[in-house]
A and B are shown apart, each in its own frame.
Chain A
Amino acid sequence: MSSAEISTHHDAAHGEHHGPAKGIRRWLFATNHKDIGTMYLVFSLLMFFTGGFMALIIRTELFSPGLQFVHPEFFNQMTTMHALIMVFGAVMPAFVGLANWMIPMMIGAPDMALPRMNNWSFWILPVAFGILLSTLWMPGGAPASGWTMYPPLVLQTGDAFPFLIFSVHLMGFSSIMGAINIIVTIINMRAPNMTLLAMPMFVWTWLITAYLLIAVMPVLAGAVTMLLTDQFFGTSFFLAAGGGDPVMFQHIFWFFGHPEVYIMILPAFGVVSEIIPTFSRKPLFGHDSMVYAASSIAFLSFIVWAHHMFTVGMPLTGQLFFMFATLLIAVPTGVKVFNWVATMWQGAMTFETPMLFSLGFVFLFTIGGFSGLMLAVVPADIQYHDSYFVVAHFHYVLVPGSIFGIMAATYYWLPKWAGHMYNEKLGRIHFWMSAIFVNVTFFPMHFLGLAGMPRRIPDYSTQFADFNSIASVGAIGFGLSQLLFVYIVFRCVRGDGATATAEVWDNPRGLEWTVPSPAPYHTFEEPPEVTDGKAFS
């Protein structure tokens, strides 16, 4: 079951295809999945730093009680923008970038199925975030109603309001096109003989994620459209006087929002499921049940949304239903965690940077999952809700979850992209700094929440001071560690490391390791022959 069984035909004559275009045209007019993937990844890194910079403003203000640096209205703008940028600008584009780079290579396709649309999906993003960021300089400032945009508060936004709505529309438009492209690529462009169940886990989790995206991004678009008409055209969707309900927005938003959080974690599950087998030198345990588990998570994610709304005054039966459904999600997620552990079990493990990040992922994501489970218990959630306990929960699943997943993927595939090894020693330092500081930042937030500190406040009572200081120190440390990441990637792309072999790692599985490193501009113009239908599990 090694990659030796996968043989590729490389057409010597490249026909009408040439290398990359010269200069800026290569990027503006790009149709090559690798170029577009690179643009997504670079954009995402930029947004990660922008959103992280805002997080640092938040943490600086919260370093000690009393208002020192910003005004409350600006603080709320930072919270809102931080979240919107991290969610839609950093995490989602990073995964789309990884999908662009890797999916065609992993399934033996020449490119994405719809290359021009692929370009458009990307180039809408700078427009969307340009518009969103420009609101910072508008009268009334940037949106300040939290990333959840609840009415009626969001209707008090100043000039930024329509810009917020339309930038969300654009993000949705981009994600939908990106997702359609990924679905079509996976379903239609696999190498002959590669059955669905033979697909690598990263491809599988992305397929499921793409379905989540096309199912829920339009719903978000609908929700913000109703906000727009309520504001400018006198509709009453979220106005009780007219027969609507402000809480109706929350239902529609979370119908999008909950699947959205799995959109941000499923591809990371896929990444980790690629990496752990490689460095355990053992096939992924229970490949098929991993597929079923991911599908169950996706299915369940549609029927749990109101667990974000246990305090809005839902009828009892609703609360009970959503509590039970939410608890159920722990089962398929548990299957994933157990399968990763079983993959490591009796392997022969080594701990290169991608593996370290994957292990960090499994540990810390699980802790975040546990706090999620606690949140699902309605009476307890009545205490936790809108406190820092929730902030702790979701940063555990998002930062050492999604972000670690992205980092792991970057280290894992970077040699394939760049043709050189990154500096392993620095990589490990980066991991340990990140892993330590992420806990210093977010672990104390559990205590803050339990002790009664609400979220989204610029100032707090003095009993919360100590843990807030610790968290702020951790945040700065975590942020600085990420500069190291940029340095490592930059050095590697410049070609400072040893030349990478085609396999890069010790006998990894998957088609991407059968092509040279760096991967040629066009891979698999003739589909590779997959001799063993199960070569990738």
Chain B
Amino acid sequence: MSNNRYYVPSESYWPIVGSIGLLFTMVGVSTWLNGSSPAFWLFMLGVTIVVVMLFGWFANVIAESESGVYNAQVDVSFRMGMFWFIFSEVMFFSAFFGALFYARNMSIPWLGGDSNNFFTNLILWDGFESTWPTNGPADVGGEYESMPPFGLPLINTALLLTSSVTITIAHHALLQGQRALLKVFLALTFLLGFIFVYLQGVEYIHAYHEMNLKLTSGIYGSTFFMLTGFHGMHVTIGAIMLTIIWLRVMKGHFTPTKHFAFEAVAWYWHFVDVVWIGLYVFVYWL
């Protein structure tokens, strides 16, 4: 009977370590932003603590999982937790997509005199015409080129789409117990992810140096870099998680019936993928 019980860990110091890490991180980054450069090291200390905490915490969970104390119900809890966490991430992105839609469909047309803003244009921004992309009526950040949807972004789209195929193949391999296939395709997936991040970096450097397209290039630059930047950050995190999962596979973890961590990361990867499609359509293409 006791095997069937829901596992409730008796105590754990990792959360409080995490909170202390967050304290240092937040105080560090804030002080740093306020202009004190030594605070950067406090920030780094905080981040380090958080990273250590994540490893320690997950090591605990993995050890418990491998020792078989988790029953099927615990597995479902983890799944639901991950699912709703991803949902909250979707909502985070939707704030920035919302900003993009608002700028394109509201504020910029209004600055151009649309709707009830005839006088906005006439008195404040005479001569400004509503277009997209734009860096605003005051030409904030100076002249720039906008990012074309073809070339690198298209390659990146192909990379991410391929990676979602490879992870699906890896998943099926896992379900069928084909470990070799699993290892290869999982590795392929995170490699594709890292290549994506690398190319994104190349694109940013090109934007900054050749196109004068910067975070400061008005609303176009703001939405472009914030959306792609947060997405890139999530790809990086996802790729790191994939790498860790791959290491676990190499250690012989996961069975065709028990592999929550693998699926969680796979879901996360698909989420990152879907966000990219939204980005590609609304940021690069339309």
Residue of B5, B73, B95 near A525 (CB, 8 A) is B5
Q: Given A218-B92, A219-B91, decide whether A242 and B218 contact each other with a Cβ distance below 8 A.
A: yes
**Chain B residues bordering chain A, tally (CB within 8 A):** 73
Of B21-29, B148-156, B175-183, the one touching chain A: B21-29
A-chain residues with CB within 8 Å of residue B226 when the two chains form the complex: 225-226, 229, 235
Does B140 sit within 8 A of A, measured CB to CB? yes
Query: Does B219 contact A243, Cβ atoms closer than 8 Å?
Result: yes
Residue of B8, B16, B92, B115 near A29 (CB, 8 A) is B16
Q: Given A123-B19, A127-B23, A218-B92, decide whether A234 and B77 contact each other with a Cβ distance below 8 A.
A: no
Query: Does A234 contact B215, Cβ atoms closer than 8 Å?
Result: yes
Of A47-55, A248-256, A388-396, A433-441, the one touching chain B: A248-256
Query: Does A111 contact B6, Cβ atoms closer than 8 Å?
Result: yes
Q: Given A180-B85, A255-B98, decide whether A248 and B12 contact each other with a Cβ distance below 8 A.
A: no
Does B220 sit within 8 A of A, measured CB to CB? yes
A-chain residues with CB within 8 Å of residue B103 when the two chains form the complex: 237, 243-245, 248
Q: Is the interface of B mostly helix, strand, loop or mixed?
A: helix
Residue of A165, A180, A219, A240 near B94 (CB, 8 A) is A219
A–B complex contacts, Cβ < 8 Å, 11 sampled:
A18-B10, A30-B11, A31-B9, A127-B19, A131-B26, A131-B27, A188-B76, A189-B73, A237-B223, A242-B218, A244-B107
- Across the two chains, which residue of chain B brings its CB closest to A211? B84
Does A136 sit within 8 A of B, measured CB to CB? no
Which residues from chain A sit less than 8 Å from chain B, CB to CB?
A: 11, 15-18, 21, 25, 28-32, 109-111, 113-117, 119-120, 123-124, 126-127, 130-131, 159, 161-163, 165-167, 169-170, 176, 179-181, 183-184, 187-189, 214-219, 221-223, 225-226, 229, 232-237, 239-245, 247-248, 251-252, 255, 313, 315-316, 522, 525-526
Which residues from chain B sit less than 8 Å from chain A, CB to CB?
A: 1-2, 5-6, 8-16, 18-20, 22-23, 26-27, 29-30, 33-34, 57, 73, 76-78, 80-81, 84-85, 87-89, 91-96, 98-99, 102-103, 106-108, 110-111, 115-116, 124-125, 134-138, 140-141, 214-216, 218-223, 225-226
Give min CB distance, A364 to chain B, whole Å.
33
Query: Does B107 contact A240, Cβ atoms closer than 8 Å?
Result: yes
- Across the two chains, which residue of chain A brings its CB closest to B22? A127
A-chain residues with CB within 8 Å of residue B214 when the two chains form the complex: 234
A-chain residues with CB within 8 Å of residue B219 when the two chains form the complex: 236-237, 242-244
Give 7 new A-B contacts, CB below 8 A, not counting A123-B16, A166-B30.
A115-B9, A169-B26, A219-B95, A237-B103, A242-B138, A243-B103, A245-B103
Residue of A116, A237, A526 near B57 (CB, 8 A) is A116
A115 and B33 CA atoms in complex are apart in Å by: 35
Query: Does B134 contact A120, Cβ atoms closer than 8 Å?
Result: no
B-chain residues with CB within 8 Å of residue A218 when the two chains form the complex: 88-89, 91-92, 94-95
- Across the two chains, which residue of chain A brings its CB closest to B4? A526
A225 and B93 CA atoms in complex are apart in Å by: 11
Query: Does A240 contact B136, Cβ atoms closer than 8 Å?
Result: yes
A467 and B9 CA atoms in complex are apart in Å by: 55
Give min CB distance, B116 to chain A, whole Å.
5
A170 and B19 CA atoms in complex are apart in Å by: 10
User: Which of A161, A181, A242, A316 has the largest count of B CB atoms less than 10 A from its CB?
Assistant: A242
Give min CB distance, A321 to chain B, whole Å.
14
Query: Does A114 contact B111, Cβ atoms closer than 8 Å?
Result: no
Query: Does A116 contact B15, Cβ atoms closer than 8 Å?
Result: yes
A-chain residues with CB within 8 Å of residue B99 when the two chains form the complex: 222, 226, 237, 248, 252
